[in-house]
Amino acid sequence: MFETSFSLNDLMFMLKGAGITLALTFWAVLGGTLLGVVFGVIRAISPWWVNLPIGIVLDIFRSIPLLIQLVLANSFKTIIGVRWDSFTIGCIVLALYCCSYCTEIVRSGFLAVPATTRRAARSLGMSWTQDLTAIVFPIALRVGLPSWIGLTLGVMKDTAMVWWIGVVELLRSSQVIVTRIQEPLFVLSIAGLIYFLMSFPIARLGARLEKRWREND
């Protein structure tokens, strides 16, 4: 018969870690998306001499492993005298990491709008702002939504790396319990189930929005 030392207090400890994971994901995706929209539009409409430096900076965040970014940022905060806690550092680094990918999602969605469609909108008397809000952004949103959903789910899983800088999120709380009761298979199965329960609604929401848009076409 199956026996375990896993207790209700252990489950509550893991759920508290899951709350930290959700908070990290929320702030990282919110900040990364807002910055990504701004930089994505700039990259889509700017000349090369503006586009190039932005692209180089974003390539740095995409190229350097997230773990290295977290450790470096957490180390440099003491060097420059910043008194941010590890949670704040984790949110900022994850947001910049998310921004580097979201920028390309927005840019590709922006460029996916046919030039003829935009010319037709301008010929009907629409201003540049009206063209963006009524034509470009709705089309770009449909194009970029699946990639943005995938990015959000990826950021949620990447929050597991913040335990390297002292944040006790879901995976770290699971490791603490595993160290104490020595039941890795059972504990990590529960952690995987919690990750699934957090990710599934986001994936389903994206699928439902895509289905509704197709029905309205």
Q: Which residue has the higher pLDDT, 126 or 170?
A: 170
Average pLDDT rounded to a whole number, residues 169-190: 93
pLDDT at residue 217 tops 70 = no
Q: Read off the pLDDT of residues 57-97 as tens digits, 9 standing for 90 and up.
A: 999 999 999 999 999 999 888 788 788 899 999 999 999 99
pTM assigned to the model: 0.91
Nearest Cα to Cα of residue 43 among 100, 93, 95, 126:
100
> Is 1.10.3720.10 the CATH classification of the domain at 20-216?
yes
Could you give the CA distance from residue 77 to residue 72 in angstroms, rounded to a whole number?
A: 9
Tokens of 59: 């390539």
Q: Residues 100-122: what's their mean pLDDT?
A: 87
So where are the chain's domains?
A: 20-216
Specify the long-range contacts of residues 25-28, CB closer than 8 Å, at least 24 apart. Answer: 25/152, 25/155, 25/156, 25/159, 27/91, 27/94, 27/95, 28/90, 28/91, 28/94, 28/95, 28/97, 28/98, 28/155, 28/159
Quote the CA–CA distance of 101 and 148 in Å, as a whole number: 9
How far is CA 73 from its chain centroid? 18
Residues 131, 121 contacting (CB under 8 angstroms)? yes
Residue type at 136? V
Taking all residues of the chain, what is their mean pLDDT, rounded to a whole number? 90
Measured CA to CA, the distance from residue 162 to residue 71 in angstroms comes to: 9
- Tally helices (H) and strands (E) across the chain: 9, 0
